[in-house]
Structure 1
Amino acid sequence: QKDGEDAASSSDTASDPASSLFNHWGHDLGPESRRVALKKFRYYGYNGYLSDRISLTRPIPDLRPDGCRNISYSSDLPQLSDIFIFVNEALSVLLRSVHTVIQRTPPHLLKEVILVDDHSSSLELKEHLQSFVDETNTQHGPGFIKLVRHDKQEGLIRSRVSGWRAASAPVVALFDAHVEFNTGWAEPILGRIKEDRTRVVSPSFDNIKYDTFEIEEYPLSAQGFDWELWCRYLNPPKSWWTLRNHTAPIRSPALIGCFVVDRKYFEEIGLLDEGMEIYGGENVELGIRVWQCGGSVEVLPCSRIAHIERAHKPYTKNLTAHVRRNALRVAEVWMDSYKSHVYMAWNVPLQNSGIDIGDVSERKALRSRLKCQPFSWFLSQIYPELRSYSDTVAYGVLKNSLRNDLCLDQGPDTDNVPIMYLCHGMTPQNVYFTSSQQLHLGVLSPTIDDDDNKCLVDVNSRPRLLECSYAATKHMKLTWTFAQGGAIQNMESQRCLELVESRQSEFTFQLAIQDCTGQKWTITNILTVLPQ
């Protein structure tokens, strides 16, 4: 019985993703095949039905920049242990990852492949994977593929460390088990690590579309993060563009997830933070730590890997809570006074957050032992594109005493009109009041390349949300006085942000800017004395 046909029922409660699977694929499938395909899709977050029907060693387009093919590498590059982490992966997807790394890595460079099964429940993986391992080891020599099985689920972070423990080659490559390796991926990375063992290197990623399994070329990027510590692709730094050489390594503030590192250096620098839970933030933490403690992180255009971006992540119900907890651990250990930015982005109180991040004393001792740089150094030297919010004096949700169940909300993205809405404390209700007396609403803009933050502006006595830089350039009315439990008053117009009764509004009140009547507003978290 195939995985996804037996186990999919447990995921049936998820919001039905059928429409997204069949948008570009499967129009000619009969009803029974559609049912099976959909169950597998719900279970894996990608098209397991199609994966089972395409070659494990299919050719994929060589997407390396011109010039990569002409570079020659040292004949004595270090050997590699390739580590794949998985839980309930589709067998065909896992095997394609393994087949393509064997097929597209020179045999003298690939010492071993390590498969870490983080306590999968799938019958397919239990029955068929061992026979594949035995078969391959008969062909390549005993121990060429090692299978490490966990007897309880440890999560991606601790699974990577257990893969590292099983490895014996001088260099380890830690990958997801839903990738396909491109021609010549290994030599550029091993060459860079041979030159300097303190480099942590990522390949450049392309996308395997989750529905059609077509390869989509991604632009060359660095890898960074926002203040919630979600990783994201970044435009390469100006210094890279000025080289006019698309084969040159790209300096990168952090890692998206898959990376290659000298095995012993990885231990010296502190592996991954095993106090983190499940998934999320570990790649950002590693990037920050490597840079602050004397190493470097880079992305190589000449090394390309295609990776499936799932339509949904099936392996944990409450991923956001894990990422938030992990992010707060990183903030406490590595970010000094900038830790407030992570708390602000997650809309969590800086003191008594109510979130147990576990014991971080070992990680703080590691930082001290390695004599690492402060986070301000990392921001100025490595990630100057990340916006700083040190001028924030208060943050959280903003409530009016007339209706304590309603919060200021950015409303629909399209019309730039703030509204009052039932409080949920998610991003659209995040308010930031600054020392320059601007009131920002919504997401904290991560980098200078992203759209600016939205500021509350008095436009002809109507509340509007406009990009702060635009409103400032146009000399609009965007500064406010605000005291906790007092009015929000525009400094230029002297009018106040208030609630007025309205039959049109879903909640009988709507926002207005009018002559002040003494309405009282409160914000959740105050960092310092509010400017008056």
Structure 2
Amino acid sequence: MWPRLRKSCRTWSIVLSITLLIGILVVWSWKKREDENSRNDYVSLRLLNNQRDYIDHKGVHVVVGHYIGDSVDPMKAPNITKDLINKNMFDPRPFEGKDGNPVLVPAKDFYKMQQLFQINRFNLMASDRIPLNRSLPDVRRKRCIMRYANVGNLPRTSIIIVFHNEAWSTLLRTVYSVINRSPRQLLEEIILVDDNSDRDFLKDTLDEHVKNLKVPTKVLRSRRRIGLVNARLLGANHAKGEVLTFLDAHCECTVGWLEPLLEAVAKNKTRVVSPVIDIINDDTFSYTRSFELHWGAFNWDLHFRWLTLNGRLLKERRENIVEPFRTPAMAGGLFSMNRDYFFELGSYDDQMKIWGGENLELSFRVWQCGGSVEIAPCSHVGHLFRKSSPYTFPGGVGEILYGNLARVALVWMDEWAEFYFKFNAEAARLRDKQPIRARLELRKKLQCKNFEWYLDNVWPEHFFPKDDRFFGRVS
């Protein structure tokens, strides 16, 4: 009896092992086919070893955020002279950076490269070796290419780019990428707004250069430092296009970037639409495709953050991956908006200084006053992300940034403003210095909803305290 039982057990063990092996092979085959199908939905993009810092285990998914850090005055860096800063060292090599590949500076130039890095807080030598019209990969999904292949009549746009002591190569590569990768009939003009730069090559030399571009391009200049918000307002006030498209001065647009933005705004003028923001490496200038399945939000410090979609939202996006989707907040540097709606809604808060917080202020205002903030997954624009800022902040970074954020909280966050101030002593210190009466009157005039409506309807996944959720420590 026992020998027979042992034989039966051995037989069952063999059968079970074979069944398990077949199951593993089936699952592996299915998973491989799924991955191949996912990859086939992308146009080919070569990813390189030095891009791993930005890429997760799937090879392409990247989450990026707006820079918040210390500012560094280049004139206080060692071995940096005024003559060096004012010298335009643009020296392009025909194939450097081609197709978004990294630039490798020869070892003999390392010392000079590190010296020049201090000027703009990125690898200026690498940037200056890349042609202004360098090629980039088409990073769109195949369905995006088909979706926007035959769009109808779209509104014309004014491209507004603010710069302050920007490098020649990054500024003009931004401009050339707009011209080379946008349908000509959609470009009304390009407006460069100089926020009181003191670099010699950004004055008459720049004026002469832009006169010869294929798209009407003009340079507006401020005689004093007015900051990003007021410089953008200066550009918007001079713009003629039906749509305003704002870009930072160190971007590179990819093919097909503009049509998804303009189509969304054309369908509903209350939509404010941003592209997917890809990454330009600050050291090698390699171009890395970013992740499309995330949205913008913010933390308790009111610092912008990218959050990955999950659950219901992720399922909805996967079912309709090419259409613009709503986001609680935008990064703020890159977006398109109907010009009339921009001014009807109160444009920018012109009491905000230099830079910081204007993206959340506009996001809250758009949502609470009847519009929507969206991301167009078929639009990709590369942005140069730095680890520190080369710009000076008159009055100090903290004074400027937290003063701006205090304005945002006081005007738009209602009782949640007190929650913010309890966690941010710097902002609380500056709250009483903010003249906000005009913005509160604007909110009343526009009949805007309260911040609780925003949390309940725009970002129900939020982590702020409410009656049905709590914040604190369990002891």
Q: Give the counterpart of 1:28 among 106, 123, 126.
A: 106
Q: Give the counterpart of 2:281 among 209, 221, 232.
A: 209
- 2:307 corresponds to 1:241: no
Could you say which residue in structure 2 is the equivalent of 1:372? 448
Change (3 A) 1:188 1:435: closer
**Aligned residue-pair number:** 374
State the alpha-carbon separation in 2 of the partners of residues 302 and 27 from structure 1: 33
Structure 1 stretch displaced more, 218-227 or 77-86: 218-227
Could you say which residue in structure 2 is the equivalent of 1:174? 246
Could you say which residue in structure 2 is the equivalent of 1:126? 203
- 2:407 corresponds to 1:329: yes
State the alpha-carbon separation in 2 of the partners of residues 386 and 158 from structure 1: 31
Query: Over aligned residue pairs, what C-alpha RMSD do you find?
Result: 2.3
Change (3 A) 1:27 1:128: closer
8 Å Cα contact 2:272/2:374 also seen in 1: yes
Could you say which residue in structure 1 is the equivalent of 2:220? 148
- 2:162 corresponds to 1:85: yes
Change (3 A) 1:172 1:435: closer
How far residue 35 of structure 1 moved from its aligned partner, in angstroms, is: 3.6
Cα-to-partner distance string for 1:335-393 (whole Å, 9 max, x where unaligned): 1101022212313585xx355543101100010000000000000111122211369xx
Could you say which residue in structure 2 is the equivalent of 1:280? 356
Change (3 A) 1:310 1:349: closer
Change (3 A) 1:345 1:40: farther
Q: For 1:56-455, what aligned pairs fall within 5 Å after superposition?
A: 56-72=132-148, 73-136=150-213, 139-140=214-215, 144-220=216-292, 221-236=294-309, 238-239=312-313, 241-243=315-317, 244-257=319-332, 258-317=334-393, 318-348=396-426, 353-389=429-465, 439=473
State the alpha-carbon separation in 1 of the partners of residues 322 and 425 from structure 2: 41
State the alpha-carbon separation in 1 of the partners of residues 399 and 430 from structure 2: 12
Letter aligned with residue 325 of structure 1? G
State the alpha-carbon separation in 1 of the partners of residues 470 and 257 from structure 2: 49
Q: What secondary structure does 1:132 align onto?
A: helix
Identity %: 36
How far residue 59 of structure 1 moved from its aligned partner, in angstroms, is: 1.2
Q: TM-score, normalised by structure 2?
A: 0.74
Change (3 A) 1:388 1:355: closer
Going by fraction, where is helix more abundant, 1 or 2?
2
Q: TM-score, normalised by structure 1?
A: 0.67
Could you say which residue in structure 1 is the equivalent of 2:42? none
Letter aligned with residue 34 of structure 1? F
Letter aligned with residue 456 of structure 2? S
Cα-to-partner distance string for 1:413-451 (whole Å, 9 max, x where unaligned): xxxxxxxxxxxxxxxxxxxxx998x54xxxxxxxxxxxx
Could you say which residue in structure 2 is the equivalent of 1:10? 76
How far residue 205 of structure 1 moved from its aligned partner, in angstroms, is: 0.6
Structure 1 stretch displaced more, 285-294 or 227-236: 227-236
Q: What secondary structure does 1:364 align onto?
A: helix
Q: What secondary structure does 2:415 align onto?
A: helix
Q: What secondary structure does 1:273 align onto?
A: coil
Gaps in structure 2 of 5+ consecutive residues? 1-72, 81-101
How far residue 287 of structure 1 moved from its aligned partner, in angstroms, is: 0.6
Gaps in structure 1 of 5+ consecutive residues? 1-6, 15-23, 392-433, 440-477, 480-532
8 Å Cα contact 1:96/1:180 also seen in 2: yes
